[in-house]
Chains A and B, each alone.
Chain A
């Protein structure tokens, strides 16, 4: 999936989740950079397609109207960028809907990704100790933890961690003690109604 992301062929919803993860995971970020370097190498090796006569001077004339952006001093400091804080109502440029109550201890918030047919993107917020009902997916569900942590059969997932649940992975997550857990989720296909989660979320995500 990181390869699809680096190649630019991953759908918008999942790209958003991956971009969020990359901002929080240095290792995967480095790997994507390496994949982009692969892309650069492939670009070098590709058979060039001749540009139209005079294309370069045409581009030059378009440059007359604008000068290069001034070198920006900001944005250079290293360290983890703040991707999400509770008071934010956008995420990496995408608008967020209002938090909606789903069930005791569980809230849902839509992420407004304009191209919405194949993937739905949303945030879930759950109180510590909450047991999410067991559920299955008919498609895939990509989750990035923004704060707090949850635990399921696959292990413990804390802030920055990504969980890629495939078709047929059944799981029953429990929110870890101590802190409220907020997740960003991109879901393809439907959640199967093995528990109440799907039934509860259903009206919001137009299954």
Chain B
């Protein structure tokens, strides 16, 4: 199982598996997706300081959400990994807000933020993925590092500065530069 999860799967293969769930509730497809994504999501959450037990639980939830929402997946709008990323991200947001709310006394019903509107339909996800891939290669190691810390570990700029032993201003400008660079490389996709 573990070797399987490390094997590279092509974006179109992953997309096909999600579509198989949507079309026929394909349980074999689910298991393949589970083995691919669950350990990654668990790794992703653990890097964001989630305990191993909770990360395990949330990775389960994320894959169940993939099953439930499979019919909403549209490969012309987003790549499989990007789509699963937004699911894991939203779960992490939910947990963070629930904890924060619990701390603020009342356990009100959860009103999650709507997912942002889907991107333009003509946008070809595969093209986007290629662009993202090559865009990431254009970032310097330093820029990539701050993007990672900010994305994966959800760190505030000040924390990143402490961790990398850099002045806050340097971190801020590095993130800004990385984002500008990405925006430049990814920007005009209509």
Establish whether residues B151 and A39, one from each chain, have CB atoms under 8 Å apart when the complex forms: yes
Q: Is the CB of B79 within 8 A of A37?
A: yes
A4 interface contact, C-beta 8 A: yes
Q: Is the interface of B mostly helix, strand, loop or mixed?
A: helix
- Write out, one digit per residue, whether chain A residues 26-62 have a CB within 8 A of any chain B CB (1) or not (0): 1101111111111111111011111110011011101
Task: Please report the total number of A residues contacting B with Cβ < 8 Å.
Answer: 61
Q: Which residues of B (51-110) have their CB < 8 Å from a CB of A?
A: 52, 55-56, 59-60, 63-64, 67-72, 77-86, 88-90, 92-93, 97, 100-101, 104, 106, 108
- How distant is the Cα of A179 from the Cα of B94 in the complex, in angstroms? 38
Q: How far is the CA of A108 from the CA of B128 in the complex (A)?
A: 42
Query: Contacting B113 at CB < 8 Å: which of A15, A42, A59, A78?
Result: A15
A48 B5 Cβ-Cβ under 8 A: yes
Q: Is A153 an interface residue (CB 8 A)?
A: no
Which residue of chain B lies nearest to A22 when distances are taken between CB atoms in the complex?
B116
Interface range on chain B: under 10, 10 to 19, 20 to 34, or 35 or more? Answer: 35 or more
Residue among A32, A55, A56, A68 making CB contact with B22, cutoff 8 Å: A68
| B17 lies within 8 A of chain A by Cβ | no
Please give, as numbers and ranges, the residues of chain B lying within 8 Å of A154 by CB-CB distance.
Answer: none
**Interchain Cβ contacts under 8 Å between A and B, 22 examples:** A2-B179, A23-B117, A34-B131, A34-B182, A37-B132, A39-B82, A39-B86, A40-B79, A40-B85, A41-B133, A42-B152, A43-B85, A46-B43, A49-B46, A51-B56, A52-B56, A55-B59, A63-B27, A68-B21, A69-B70, A92-B113, A115-B101
7 further A-B contacts with Cβ under 8 Å, apart from A27-B187, A35-B182, A55-B34, are A30-B120, A43-B44, A48-B42, A50-B2, A51-B38, A68-B21, A94-B111
